[in-house]
Amino acid sequence: MLMKAIEAYLEVRRLSGCKLRDAERLLRRYADFAAARGDTHVRVRTAVDWSLEAGPVGQRRIRLRQVVLFARYARAEDPHHQVPHLGLLARVPHSFQPYIYTPEEARRLVVEAGRLGPPGSLRPHTYRTLFALLFATGLRISEAMSLRFDDVRNEGLLIRQTKFRKTRLVPLHETARAGLARYIALRHALGGTTDYVFISSTGGPLEHSFVHRTFRALLKAAKIGGAPGQPQPRIHDMRHTFAVRALEASPDGRDRIAQHMLALTTYLGHTSVVDTYWYLRATPPLMRDIADACECLLANVTTVSARAASPMV
């Protein structure tokens, strides 16, 4: 009964243009969890217990939010459904700090991906190319996993209606283009049951859970990780790393910096340049560089002012 209500909810939302791939995956898991308890309707206690099974605080809230949205819809049809409150789980701290990979760490992660088994399979090539592409382009993992063959063009990658319902073209460096072309040639040779660029060992689209599980195994093999109490690496931090490196490469001069920020905003698919500036304040090394530059500028201004105020000799 609960699964039928979830399917009806997903169908209604998809009619409005939502893809809901992640929402469907999570709600199906919730339905299985609730069914094991004998629930036929949404129960606050069950929803919270299921959400708490996720590790990070942010993932717990994502789980609970999906149940809340579904429960609001379901309760309009059947008042026996309970609607949980998001306040039941703690918020993600606003002082979140991303993990910025060093060039050597990025290299080790990609190398370890190429060592995955089984021998002779497409799997090591898939993960090596996938993670190398994330480091090289700053794509969201969902965008890379959603790529189809028709999206790979001479001008770059066509990223279709993603997080903010926007479509954009992402140019590729010639080395990234060559690496992706080699993978696609091998991908065609080994076949598959779908036109997705990156596929699983069964020939279908990659699943987020398998990608994250493989990523954690690669981190361990590559000996990559933050010290206790420090940020721990995530897949999304490959995007943070790309953005930070791009900001570090910004040219001098106010006008040129503004143009660089606007170009990066468009490239990353942000709705506003403000979202791109977030990478500045979320990354202490960049903040220190900005502080040092401001201190130097202030010192120069003070010197000039002092000279201007001194009596003529």
Please identify which of the residues 60, 125, 140, 240 carries the catalytic annotation. Answer: 140
- Tell me how far CA of residue 122 lies from CA of 1, 185, 210, 215, 304, in angstroms: 40, 11, 15, 16, 64
CB contact at 8 A, 166 and 271: yes
Selected catalytic residue, list 61, 187, 239, 240? 239
| Residue 248 confidence (pLDDT) | 72
Residue 4 has pLDDT above 80, yes or no: yes
| Alpha-carbon span 3 to 85, nearest angstrom | 21
Whether 279 is a known active-site residue: answer yes
- Catalytic, out of 91, 163, 182, 220: 163
Here the tokens at position 304 are 């000039």
Residue-level pLDDT at 257: 54
Q: Are 238 and 134 in contact (CB under 8 A)?
A: yes
- Is 223 labeled as catalytic in the residue annotation? no
Integer Cα distance of 103 and 85 in angstroms: 42
Does the pLDDT at position 141 exceed 60?
A: yes
Local structure of 184: helix, strand or coil:
helix
Task: Kindly state the tokens that stand for 200.
Answer: 């699983």
In sequence order, what E strands does 141-239 have? 152-153, 156-159, 168-170
Amino acid identity at 168: R
- Over residues 40-68, the pLDDT tens digits come to 999 999 999 999 988 777 788 889 999 99
User: Is 125 a residue of the active site?
Assistant: no
The pLDDT score that the predictor gives to residue 177 is: 94
Strands 168-170, 156-159: pairing kind: antiparallel
What is the spatial distance between Cα 197 and Cα 187, in angstroms, rounded to a whole number? 8
DSSP secondary structure letter of residue 234: -
Residue of 309 and 43 predicted with greater confidence: 43
Q: Please, are residues 197 and 99 in contact by the beta-carbon 8 Å criterion?
A: no
Confidence of residue 16 (pLDDT cuts 50, 70, 90): confident
Cis peptide before 118 (omega within 30 of 0): yes
Please tell me the predicted confidence (pLDDT) of residue 305: 46
Quick: pLDDT tens for 214-264. 999 999 999 999 788 788 899 999 988 888 887 777 666 545 655 656 666
Active-site choice (236, 245, 260, 277) = 236
By the 10 Å C-beta count (0-12 exposed, 13-18 middle, 19+ buried), 31 is classed as buried
- For 277, other C-beta atoms within 10 Å of its C-beta total 14
User: End-to-end distance of the chain based on CA atoms, in angstroms?
Assistant: 93
Identify whether 277 is a catalytic site residue: no
Catalytic residue status for 61:
no
